Chain A
């Protein structure tokens, strides 16, 4: 690890100020960034920890029934505090990594990193969430722009994420055997105005919506509705853990299982 400056502001305003310095890098739970730095593969000049910003930690509901999660909220806190209001999201958070990861890693860190095999991007995109930063609100559909790429500006901070709570939802994760990231993960959410299906782990473009499945489920929210669909097309990841064809196949299987788990 190379030397770096470290600060831990206590307000969003101070964090925004700290991020203005040259070479500043926001630090969530550090579950990706710190191992990368230890391997000398990243060398930020200064780290701005967001975990000391109390107003960015916690889960609450607004009057419209949306669930708001602070950007520095740990996976363990989401698993605990969202269990009643948005059980599918809580279950997803409860199955990320191991207890150490879940108690350090944050939702803002995960969404800012946008690992193509991470779980949270599927929940955000599958729920049509809004990513709220210190300067603006970004719809999930506009936020994920590619593998490890997002609409965030370099010094922008995710302060919270707002999830519309669906009528029913489920996340099916098929583990990559070594990392236990998603080899493929599918998040299905049923809303009054339609169904969203978001897929992580499968595509070189990162998380994506499977529009054919959404259309089919919008008309008939049942396992049968998706059983007949061909595998999603697209630029699937090929690696030592599975071919593109295998991943595409898993998308179909997991989507159907998610719908079944929703009672469809």
Chain B
């Protein structure tokens, strides 16, 4: 292995520029003659646009152009990327999502006009001068009301507020119903998975440019997947040929899912740039981010767990209402279905699983994938009801899980929710957790807390998720309208330095450090001689970007395959240089050699020969040393874990303090343990944020009550414990060349039920008959649960 190859905890090289102010973000880019764009956004949740008078705005100082929905009636809508069929076979409802609202505004923040001016202040002044006659209508907010009320609609043209009514697996429905009907014990729990506002540190921003001389467009934007954005704009929204449109996502300050999607602002700045012949820049304010970034979660679920008296699981059945907001964001239909229902068997050998999801339009911001995307919702429902079941049966929460675990000798394991788990060892994870979290010492710690007037509780959770998104053949059958492969080009330069162009986008994941470790490991070169190029569609092969904990498992595998091709070709060149047959040539630690001889040639010499091909067999080998691989995974990857959390509750105030959190994860091969630990720490912070603090909450009129950081509580350092992250209990992924599973979302998936389980445990041990508290488990909610 090369120094700093796979397994090395190398420090992140990109942090030098991030921490010294040398990062280069979209808003840092201001081409010559840039104009500035500001949007007029709806103040009401549901309204009929009777007319928009832009004449006063157009006459304002510095105003270059004003756009309304009328200017975009000829272009396409922003499409849904995943088609879901209802239980009765009907396709989902897909109302058009226009660039600017037309006819109706459908959520607070919905943009109905845009001003482009010489300065941002002038644009903002002109936005205030737009006179919009918008007639406020009753808002559709509550999901149950939305489904029951067919007279008050978010989209009149579809005649319903229901997007789809999905069953998974529909063929299992009757058997599951029957199993629950006949089961000796059934535990039922109704719960809410709270809406989250992503709040990436860098708000969205987009700059459109158009070159009238060449007809080329360029979009610089905050994206997690520039090729997907280009595809959507080219194929659906604007019809710009892909070879005339460059999408560049430079440094991006966090995404968490919210920057996967194409947004109307991106189309608008491109259209405006074409019309004006000048660059057009828009940077979201924090308020706009709250109102218009795709939100996360927002499920209302009833789950039933049927089991034997000894705790053996018989069936899980869930009914969920999933809020999709006012419009379908690109993957909002995949998140509550195939990223959620397919995980509802958890880590367990349960034979019957049935999931019903009704997706509901409401007059709220669109909801889409957010760190974890469907799997946190599945894990939360399952792991909460399992805890309740254990309590009802008088069983230990660890024991009931162990009793139902898929065992290490059962892989590949076909889950009752339709996935094939390739590897894992859940008992070993639980063994590790019991030891590292010192579960046997809990009672002593509880007594110590009690002496201080605090209620201490222990929460346990085991989770599985599906990552490495995704096998294109499989997701195509399931309704995906895109492939989910990724791509890499490895370019060995003449003097031996290496550029690797990748389709994944790094916005906090550390690709610039981790991917070179894979290349260096294979080639036996210094990782610092390998540089990653990402984010610019004019430079990189067509990749599908970064989300779903997929980068290393899918794009990293493409890097691996392309590097293997490099070795194959370099071996031919080396064989020629040593005048030997290629099959006699070995390659190790960067040196080509021939066994039984003293012939050797270094990798750098081979690279030089490839580009200065003197005395070169050009009939047999092409000059140059550059290879591309597209990698499409054979299956999802299945990270899993066992988590433990201890909390103290102040029964007088309801305040919850997290005393400890242990995350025991199986990520398969770990390429850079330091980066993996950081990813889990970040995920835990977001999961604890969901559990205790964060809530995107609309009032009945569709106003976002928690629409600023004054009311939307983000986790801060002192809200978090010193977490313990352990990924030593690993089983390799069996179907990708590195053996990796993915770690980006695990913390956010595993921690929310762990925290809530701990809080309920604390209250129960304190003599309070509390079965559940919805997230966020705020002090007020805990106090109310105690005093109900």
Which residues of A are interface residues toward B (Cβ below 8 A)? 1, 39-40, 174, 177-179, 183, 239-243, 246, 249-250, 253
Contact = CB atoms under 8 A, between A and B. Distances in A.
A249 B711 CA distance: 21
B693 interface: yes
Chain B interface mostly: loop
Contacts of B124: 40
B287 interface: yes
Nearest to A174: B653
A240 B711 contact: yes
A249 B783 contact: yes
Nearest to A3: B121
A249 B782 CA distance: 13
Interface string B679-708: 000000000000011010100000001100
B96 to A, nearest CB: 32
Interface in B640-677: 652-655
A246 B783 contact: yes
Nearest to A242: B780
A250 B778 CA distance: 14
A174 B654 CA distance: 11
Contacts of B477: none
A174 B783 CA distance: 14
A189 to B, nearest CB: 22
A94 B113 CA distance: 45
Given A39-B287, A178-B711, A253-B652, A242 B705 contact: no
6 contacts: A1-B121, A178-B714, A179-B711, A242-B778, A242-B780, A246-B654
Contacts of B653: 174, 250, 253
A246 B780 contact: yes
- In this complex, the member of B692, B780, B783 whose beta carbon has the largest number of chain A beta carbons within 10 angstroms is B780
Interface residues of B, number: 25
Interface string B758-788: 0000000000000000000011100110000
B1 interface: no
Contacts of A242: 778-780
Given A240-B695, A240-B697, A243-B780, A178 B709 contact: yes
- In this complex, the member of A1, A177, A243, A250 whose beta carbon has the largest number of chain B beta carbons within 10 angstroms is A177
Interface in B587-642: none
A177 B705 contact: no
A239 B706 CA distance: 10
A7 B397 CA distance: 66
A253 B651 CA distance: 11
A177 B654 CA distance: 13
B92 interface: no
Contact of A177 (B121, B287, B693): B693
Contacts of A40: 124, 128
B183 interface: no
Contact of B710 (A1, A174, A178, A250): A178
B712 interface: yes
A178 B653 CA distance: 17
B439 interface: no
A118 to B, nearest CB: 13
Contacts of B780: 241-243, 246
Given A40-B124, A177-B693, A246 B710 contact: no
A169 B420 CA distance: 65
B713 interface: yes
Nearest to B693: A177
A239 B697 CA distance: 11
A175 B705 CA distance: 18
A178 B124 CA distance: 28
A78 to B, nearest CB: 22
Interface in B87-110: none
Contacts of A246: 654, 780, 783-784
Contacts of A39: 287
Contacts of A250: 653
B706 A178 contact: yes
A177 B710 CA distance: 9
B140 to A, nearest CB: 21
Nearest to A180: B716
A249 B653 CA distance: 8
A178 B713 contact: yes
Contacts of A253: 652-653
* Closest 8 pairs (CB-CB, A-B): A178-B713, A242-B780, A177-B713, A179-B710, A246-B780, A253-B652, A178-B711, A240-B705
B784 A243 contact: yes
A246 B781 CA distance: 9
- In this complex, the member of A1, A183, A240 whose beta carbon has the largest number of chain B beta carbons within 10 angstroms is A240
Contacts of A243: 780, 784
Contacts of B714: 178
Contacts of B121: 1
A241 B783 contact: no
B287 to A, nearest CB: 7
Interface in B112-142: 121, 124, 128
A99 to B, nearest CB: 13
A240 B128 CA distance: 30
Nearest to B285: A39
A46 to B, nearest CB: 18
Contacts of A177: 692-693, 713, 778-779
Contacts of A178: 693, 706, 709-714
Given A178-B710, A240-B705, 18 more contacts: A1-B121, A174-B653, A174-B655, A174-B779, A177-B713, A177-B778, A178-B693, A178-B712, A178-B713, A179-B710, A179-B711, A239-B705, A240-B706, A241-B711, A241-B780, A242-B780, A243-B780, A253-B653
A159 B254 CA distance: 45
A183 B697 CA distance: 18
Nearest to A40: B124
Contacts of A183: 779
A148 to B, nearest CB: 15
Contacts of B784: 243, 246
A40 B712 CA distance: 21
B641 to A, nearest CB: 27
A243 B785 CA distance: 13
B15 to A, nearest CB: 23
Contacts of B778: 177, 241-242
Contacts of A179: 709-711
B455 to A, nearest CB: 15
- In this complex, the member of B287, B654, B706, B778 whose beta carbon has the largest number of chain A beta carbons within 10 angstroms is B778
A44 to B, nearest CB: 16
A253 B654 CA distance: 11
